[in-house]
Amino acid sequence: MSEPRTALVTGASRGLGRATARALARHGVRVALTYRGGADGAVETVRTIEEEGGEAIALRLDIGDIAGFEQFAEEMTGALRTRWRADRLDVLVNNAGVGLFDTLEDVTPRRFDEIVGTNFRGTYFLIQALVPHLADGGRIVNVSTSLTRHVSPGTSVYAASKAAVEAFSLSLAEELGPRGIRVNSVAPGPSATDFNGGAMRDDPALRDALAQQTALGRVGSPDEIGDAIAALVSPDMRWVTAERLEVSGGALL
Ligand SMILES: NC(=O)c1ccc[n+]([C@@H]2O[C@H](COP(=O)([O-])OP(=O)(O)OC[C@H]3O[C@@H](n4cnc5c(N)ncnc54)[C@H](OP(=O)(O)O)[C@@H]3O)[C@@H](O)[C@H]2O)c1
């Protein structure tokens, strides 16, 4: 399996997606990254990657809008061709996602549909739209959460939407194995980003409580997730597929 040359990272206007795009670029991968509302953040991610000596382009994508995926695939392949003369994607990182921290009595059908429609349905159909453009020997990484293994209050819908992602990742590893495509999920533990209103970054009491629940004694930084994803798609991991890699510093063991 050769070194990956091109990647698409969804939701890279900030947070774990930005860190993943940067980590891949540091490994010499040319990165197409997506944003939904955060155009300025996406520009900032591209600028940072270029300052670090890498190459990146930003494209708009709403993974809740599956009707737009065909057009997005055309835009993406056009951009890869024009910018890098590349006709295939080597790596697809499905990182874009949204959280919900409501207990049973507060979950509304609208919020349920938004979380499941983004994290599960959107991710699934984006893969369906992009797999024809993925090189044989390519890699798919689906970002899940440590919450599929342990419980935290108010996360039933969010965790279930990510458990679905882990489940279909296994099936896709089997379906796409004949093309040499590896499919794995990465399950981050609590990480300091805007996620959940920035609580893991900005609420010292919550951060301390979560830190005490990890073997390594702190919450994770975005770079620690990005570096793990970049390592997972490297040729050194060529025999690893259908795995769930938890990157949580040993949360709630
Ligand atoms: N941070 C954590 O503690 C943690 C732990 C476990 C798993 N995760 C997972 O890691 C992933 C990234 O989380 P994060 O912490 O980096 O979150 P974040 O800081 O809130 O960033 C979320 C990213 O997803 C994008 N996004 C949201 N909804 C989208 C949609 N419908 N279509 C396209 N893009 C969309 C956002 O784009 P715009 O800003 O452009 O709108 C943004 O780039 C998520 O899947 C999350 O579930 C996070």
pLDDT the model gives residue 46 = 98
CATH code, domain with 76: 3.40.50.720
Is the pLDDT score of 4 beyond 90?
Answer: no
Instruction: Give the DSSP per-residue string, the chain.
Output: -PPP-EEEESS-SSHHHHHHHHHHHHTT-EEEEEESS-HHHHHHHHHHHHHTT--EEEEE--TT-GGGHHHHHHHHHHHHHHHH---SEEEEEE---------GGG--HHHHHHHIIIIIIIHHHHHHHHGGGEEEEEEEEEE--GGGTS--TT-HHHHHHHHHHHHHHHHHHHHHGGGT-EEEEEEE-SBSSSHHHHHHHH-HHHHHHHHHTBTTSSPBPHHHHHHHHHHHTSGGGTT--S-EEEESSSBT-
What confidence score (pLDDT) does residue 2 get?
A: 87
Q: Is residue 125 part of a domain?
A: yes
- Asked if residue 1 has pLDDT above 80, the reply is no
pLDDT of residue 200: 86
* Host domain of residue 62: 6-247
**What's the total number of domains in the chain?**
1
Predicted confidence band at 196 (pLDDT cuts at 50, 70, 90)? confident
In a domain, 164, yes or no: yes
Q: Assess if residue 19 is contained within a domain.
A: yes
Predicted local confidence at residue 177, as pLDDT: 98
228 falls within a domain: yes
Pocket probe mutation, ligand 1, options 8, 43, 59, 98, max atoms within 8 Å of Cβ? 98
pLDDT band for position 199 (cuts 50, 70, 90): confident
Q: How far is the CA of 119 from the centre of ligand 1 (A)?
A: 10
Residue 84 confidence (pLDDT) above 90: yes
pLDDT recorded at residue 163: 98
Average per-residue pLDDT for the chain: 97
Residue 253 maps to a domain: no
> In ligand 1, which atom is closest to the CA atom of 19?
16
At residue 106, does pLDDT exceed 80? yes
Residue 34 falls within a domain, yes or no?
yes
Distance (angstroms) between ligand 1 centre and the Cα of 15 equals 7
* Residue 143 CA, ligand 1 centroid: distance in Å: 9
Query: In this structure, is residue 202 part of a structural domain?
Result: yes
pLDDT tens-digit readout, 19-51: 999 999 999 999 999 999 999 999 999 999 999
pLDDT bin (cut points 50, 70, 90) of residue 126 is very high
pLDDT of residue 101: 94
The pocket around ligand 1, CB under 6 angstroms, is made up of 10-11, 13-17, 35-38, 41, 61-64, 95-99, 118, 143, 145, 188, 190-191, 193-195, 200
Q: Atom 20 (ligand 1): residue with closest C-alpha?
A: 195
Q: What is the mean pLDDT of residues 55-80?
A: 98
Answer yes or no: is 1 within a domain: no
